[in-house]
Amino acid sequence: MRGFYKGCLNSRCFPHFIRCQGECHNTVFAEPAASAPAIRPVRLMQNIQNTGPRQLCLRLMRYVAPYWDALILATVCMIATAATVPMLAALMQPTMDEVIANRNPELLQLVLLGIISLFAVRAIAGHLAAYVLHWAGSKLVVDLLCEIFDKLLVLPHSYYESCPGSNHISVDHVSRITSDAPEVGRAFVNGVTVMIKDTFTVIGLLAWMFYLNWTLALLILLMSSVILLVTQLLGERLREMGRESAQAIEGLTRILKGSALNFMVVKLYGGEQYENRRMREQAEETRRFFMKRVAVASLYIPLIQTIGAAAIVLTLYFAANEAVAGELTAGSFASLIAAILLLIAPARRIAEVGETLQHGLLAAGSLFSLLDGEVESETGTVVIQRVRGELQFEEVGYGERTERNPDTSLKIHSLANSDSAAAWRRGSNPGLHDVTLIIQPGETVAVVGCAETMDVLTCMVPRFLNPTSGRILLDGHDLRNITLASLRANIALVSPHTALFNDTVAANIAYGAMGRATEARITWAARAAHASEFIRKLPDGLQTVVGEGGVELRGSQRLRIAIARALLKNAPLLILNEKLGMIEPESVSLVQAALDTAMQGRTTFVIADRLSTLERADQVVMVDKERIVERGSHRELMARDGAYTRLIRRLFGSKAAIAAR
């Protein structure tokens, strides 16, 4: 069967690596999202399955070990809390035998004082145990979140390019951080609570019951086990029926949705009766599943009550015989019944803890599969300072993987154009062959043509991608020999798709390593990017929070902040995308002026969209899907009347129109 298995555990889609389309129901087969490579979720699931629960638990212990003192305190408090439960049951014996039967008021006072004392101990110890355990669990979650985020920052380009979506990590990947880490913390707290407090509670109650009357305690345990078994079987059957009912409802939803979306086909091809018949059959199947579930559910409580009544009758019968024989007092019997009642809740939690732990281990496996991923390959050893900006492409090729470049990927996560990020999903894998290009310091190279190829070139400069043949030199240094940090410190990026962070305008301009920039420098960069005018009109000026992705700003305003960021960095290399796309027309001139400012005095790779940029560029490079087609100045290429000329005519009009510009 095509597609992936998509299940739902605790209202969370599992596996998390598969995009959940619409409602998530149990045991539903869903087609893999068109934008996601199919092999990656399968590999991640196999990695989790190959890591056993024991290995996952041992690995989680490394995160808990630093807080061993808190765990010891929590353990002592939970044991103290558990010890009070059999003591409360034990107080029933003197209460019945001495206080009530023998009317002993002095003992009554002691019993009442003992009850109050036990509840005080339970309150204090329970509060301390819960607080300390949740503190340790929250530290576990924070440590996991920080380690995962640190890992995300060093993951290779290939990880992000495999995410569904054009320029953003997918919601499925984000959920592995925001949902799985807290799930691990919840499983840790619940698991430790059950394994220590409830286990000691059960042991204490059983010890007290067998101390009172081992034969009657054994009988009661046997009857309780029967009730627990029946409850477990019926509960599993109800859950299975719930999954079947969910599948039936899913089928009903598909029919309704399909008929509504394809109503023209239904009407034109006379499909009304066919769809009506399908709908009735599916609705009847859904009703049958519902009634089967109702039949079992309605039998559940009466059956449990009947078995419980039989257990009570047998218990009373044997207890009466024991009492007649003088081997069991009323107080002992009452204490035994109290112990049984107090035993039910912790026993149920112990029986159900496996599901909680399973959810936590699945979440942990998901997180560890991310943490175990390969980091971005650092092959460089040369630390460069500020470069002059001379770039040389020597017979550069990009295509199939080679042993020399094992981390090279064929798919592009676009630096420049969001449309190209979708190109590989359509099966268009770009490749380069024998690209040779020399860019002198301070030169502007305008690139036009195939968007995917332009993205390969621009991604190679900051080493998001590595060439599979040839080499790229920066001031005579092979890029692969330069450390990533020092290389990228010399590169700035400006693109309409450059995201802003949910922070202030000032923090977005002075981002990252520029965070210590003075307000005067930030103001200068904003003014140079023609952004100071609209920034002054914002409610808090430079301290205005722009929202996630800069949602509070318009497109031209976001782009000018990105230009200001590049100007403040003052890197000698600039990757620039001129395709303004959604920029509002009244702001185009301001954006173009800001772009011109950004290009001055630095080596610039331009994804050109303006004729004026092509005319002023030192070199114009036209590329197709594999190679450089033409290069030279704008005037030279126009004089050749080749592919470049045809492209310019198509984009900007006839020669007369071009001359008029």
Q: What secondary structure, in 3-state letters, does 314-379 show? A: HHHHHHHHHHHCCCCCHHHHHHHHHHHHHHHHHHHHHHHHHHHHHHHHHHHHHHHHHHCCCCCCCC
Q: Whats the size of the chain, residue-wise?
A: 661
pLDDT of residue 502: 85
The conformational region for residue 77 under phi > 0 = left, psi -120 to 50 = alpha, else beta, is alpha
Name the more confident of 445 and 1: 445
pLDDT of residue 68: 92
Joined together, the tokens standing for residue 314 give 């047998």
Instruction: Give 432's strand partners.
Output: 398
What whole-number distance in Å separates Cα of residue 408 and Cα of residue 377?
Answer: 10
pLDDT digits (tens, 9 = 90+) for 230-262: 877 887 788 788 888 888 888 888 888 888 888
pLDDT digits (tens, 9 = 90+) for 275-296: 888 888 888 988 888 888 888 8
What whole-number distance in Å separates Cα of residue 442 and Cα of residue 247?
Answer: 63
- Secondary structure, 3-state, 582-629: CCCHHHHHHHHHHHHHHHCCCEEEEECCCHHHHHHCCEEEEECCCCEE
Binned at pLDDT 50, 70 and 90, residue 2 comes out as very low
Q: Which amino acid is at 369?
A: S
pLDDT of residue 79: 95
Whether residue 316 lies inside any domain: the answer is yes
Name the more confident of 416 and 641: 641
pLDDT of residue 654: 57
What whole-number distance in Å separates Cα of residue 128 and Cα of residue 410?
Answer: 55
Three-class DSSP category at 576: strand
Name the more confident of 182 and 582: 182
Residue 481 near residue 656, CB atoms below 8 Å = no
What whole-number distance in Å separates Cα of residue 358 and Cα of residue 5?
Answer: 18
pLDDT digits (tens, 9 = 90+) for 64-106: 899 999 999 999 999 999 999 999 999 888 888 887 777 777 7
**Mean pLDDT across the chain, nearest whole number?**
79
Number of DSSP helices (H) and strands (E) in the chain, helices first: 25, 13
Sign of the alpha-carbon torsion through 257, 263, 265, 266: positive
Whether residue 603 lies inside any domain: the answer is no
H-type alpha helices, 155-193: 157-161, 171-178, 180-193
Residue 620's Cβ-count burial label (10 Å; 0-12, 13-18, 19+) is buried
Whether residue 247 lies inside any domain: the answer is yes
Question: Range with the lowest mean pLDDT among 135-139, 266-270, 423-427, 580-584?
Answer: 423-427
What whole-number distance in Å separates Cα of residue 446 and Cα of residue 392?
Answer: 15
What whole-number distance in Å separates Cα of residue 163 and Cα of residue 166?
Answer: 8
Three-class DSSP category at 219: helix
What whole-number distance in Å separates Cα of residue 613 and Cα of residue 648?
Answer: 13
Instruction: Give 359's strand partners.
Output: none
What whole-number distance in Å separates Cα of residue 391 and Cα of residue 443?
Answer: 10
Whether residue 42 lies inside any domain: the answer is no
Q: What percent of the chain has pLDDT over 90?
A: 18
Q: Which amino acid is at 542?
A: L
Domain that holds residue 244: 214-327
pLDDT of residue 293: 84
Name the more confident of 655 and 543: 543
For residues 45-75, one letter each, b for 16 or more C-beta atoms within 10 angstroms of the residue's C-beta and e for the rest, the string is bebbeebeeeebeeebeebbeebeebbebbb
What does residue 617 show for φ and ψ, rounded to 5 degrees?
-65, 145
**What is the residue whose two structure tokens read 């070990």?**
65
Examine the pLDDT at 44 and tell me if it is beyond 50. Answer: no
State the CB neighbour count (10 A cutoff) for residue 222. 11
Domain count, the chain: 1
The conformational region for residue 130 under phi > 0 = left, psi -120 to 50 = alpha, else beta, is alpha
Whether residue 510 lies inside any domain: the answer is no
Query: What does DSSP say about strands 469-474 and 391-398: parallel, antiparallel, or unpaired?
Result: antiparallel
Examine the pLDDT at 222 and tell me if it is beyond 90. Answer: no
Q: What is the mean pLDDT of residues 623-649?
A: 87
Examine the pLDDT at 165 and tell me if it is beyond 90. Answer: no
What whole-number distance in Å separates Cα of residue 368 and Cα of residue 68?
Answer: 22
Examine the pLDDT at 186 and tell me if it is beyond 70. Answer: yes
H-type alpha helices, 382-432: 418-421
pLDDT of residue 421: 40
Question: Range with the lowest mean pLDDT among 293-297, 385-389, 480-484?
Answer: 293-297
Name the more confident of 532 and 326: 532
Whether residue 468 lies inside any domain: the answer is no
Predicted TM-score (pTM) of this structure: 0.66
The DSSP call for residue 95 is: I
Torsion, Cα 262 267 268 274, to 10 degrees, reads 90
Examine the pLDDT at 334 and tell me if it is beyond 70. Answer: yes
**What is the residue whose two structure tokens read 């590049």?**
566
Whether residue 570 lies inside any domain: the answer is no
Whether residue 240 lies inside any domain: the answer is yes
